[in-house]
Amino acid sequence: MRVYRCVLQIRSPTVISNERGARGFYTATEALPGYTVGGAVNRALFGSVSPDRMLVSSPAYPVLNGHKTLPAHTFYYKCKICEGLVVSTLREANLLELMRHGWEVVKERLIALRDEQSHPLKSLHPRPVTPQGGRAARVAVQSIVSIGMNRHAAASQIGLLYEYTAIEPGQEYWFTLASSGGSEIPDEFDVKIGRGASRGYGRAVVRVEERFTDPPLDQSVGDEAAFYAVSPIPLRFIAGQINLAECSSRYGLKGVDGVLEPIYTGGRPAAFGRAVRKMVAGWPHGASVSRERIDCLSAGSIVAYRWRQRPDDQARALAALRYFGAPVRLDSGYVDGFCMLYPFSREPLEEVV
């Protein structure tokens, strides 16, 4: 298993479309989806996505004044009055222990409305924040208005005016790439990401900052564990199981197995996060792009699982879950870069690697 920690720097205005709206495409600016970054990297290095050379990408999160940001979890708050004060109720709590006492206790201990001075608190979930000090990332964007062209008539189509939000050049994002092994990747390479590459949009450069072989991830997880979601988690993995043997077969990871199932409290799976109902996955399908929706909880969510079937090599199984996630099967194929989970003990934003 090879893992690369990378930084992507935007070099020309970049439009990452997430979803089509009335006047254009809403742009993902605070996080670039893992399948979008992964697609761009695999095309740049290998010309296409081939299963035996595939690199799986995490979502890419902004770098703020040289600091990497991560999506705030559900119990990460900022005071509306005290400048820079952040409160994480997880730091003082043991989530698994609280769950044994039921939902009322979980709510009472983890949901905070006021700080010690009785000031109102606001949850930062799921905005990317710096783990030290909790500053929220702000990404510089510009608006681009373009006229819809009718390809066949080579003329502009009346009334078709699209407005895009584009990420400005200079913005940096960090992310991880993972592969089962094999060929190395260069220290630096150019990618084209998002829409309008033929018109000069979406030029970016990727720098590899660190390389790891078989990153250890043990965390002395017992039968049950609380996880922080580094990527969105499809609801199917919260309503049902995560079978790590699917990672093994999709990504060619030998010795990765085990089955996780969600822990239930009072009839509900223990999952805390914002529902992202219209996550769109797109990939080339012949000449056009197929799109499907995946209902998810957003990155930064907190979920609790237990081993239904313990893995032979737990450290390896947990590393696969963190850096590859679980492949999502759709009608038209697989999509990668989802369900990347990290087991934490107290404060995930300070622990996650």
Please tell me what DSSP assigns to residue 114: B
Pairing between strand 302-309 and 155-167?
unpaired
**Which structure tokens are listed for 92?**
């003082």
User: Closest approach of Cβ 203 to Zn ion, in Å?
Assistant: 43
Residue 65: exposure state from Cβ atoms within 10 A (0-12, 13-18, ≥19) = exposed
- Nearest to residue 260, comparing CAs of 296, 211, 311? 311
Rounded distance between C-alpha atoms, residue 193 and residue 179, angstroms: 20
- Please give the C-alpha separations between residue 174 and each of 9, 32, 248, 250, 306, in angstroms, as whole numbers: 9, 10, 25, 25, 30
Q: Which residues bind Zn ion (CB under 5 A)?
A: 79, 81-82, 115, 117, 119
User: Closest approach of Cβ 119 to Zn ion, in Å?
Assistant: 3
Tokens 């090879």, residue located:
2
The 3-state DSSP class for residue 161 equals: strand
Rank residues 44 and 112 by Cβ distance to Zn ion and give the closer one: 112
- Nearest to residue 338, comparing CAs of 79, 57, 12, 40? 57
The answer to whether the beta carbons of residues 227 and 217 sit under 8 Å apart is: no
> In sequence order, which residues have a C-beta less than 8 Å from that of residue 91 and are 6 or more positions away?
346, 347
User: Closest approach of Cβ 124 to Zn ion, in Å?
Assistant: 14
Rank residues 37 and 87 by Cβ distance to Zn ion and give the closer one: 87
User: Closest approach of Cβ 87 to Zn ion, in Å?
Assistant: 9
User: Closest approach of Cβ 116 to Zn ion, in Å?
Assistant: 7
Rank residues 79 and 302 by Cβ distance to Zn ion and give the closer one: 79
Rank residues 81 and 140 by Cβ distance to Zn ion and give the closer one: 81
The answer to whether the beta carbons of residues 324 and 217 sit under 8 Å apart is: no
Rank residues 81 and 160 by Cβ distance to Zn ion and give the closer one: 81
- Nearest to residue 14, comparing CAs of 141, 188, 149, 163? 141
Torsion of CA 89, 94, 99, 100, to 10 degrees: -150
147 φ/ψ angles, rounded to the nearest 5 degrees: -90, 130
User: Closest approach of Cβ 126 to Zn ion, in Å?
Assistant: 22
The answer to whether the beta carbons of residues 70 and 131 sit under 8 Å apart is: yes
Rank residues 79 and 260 by Cβ distance to Zn ion and give the closer one: 79
Rank residues 20 and 114 by Cβ distance to Zn ion and give the closer one: 114
Rank residues 77 and 201 by Cβ distance to Zn ion and give the closer one: 77
Rounded distance between C-alpha atoms, residue 219 and residue 322, angstroms: 12
User: Closest approach of Cβ 75 to Zn ion, in Å?
Assistant: 17
Rank residues 45 and 136 by Cβ distance to Zn ion and give the closer one: 136
User: Closest approach of Cβ 84 to Zn ion, in Å?
Assistant: 10
Tokens 């030290």, residue located:
132
Rounded distance between C-alpha atoms, residue 337 and residue 16, angstroms: 16
Rank residues 121 and 230 by Cβ distance to Zn ion and give the closer one: 121
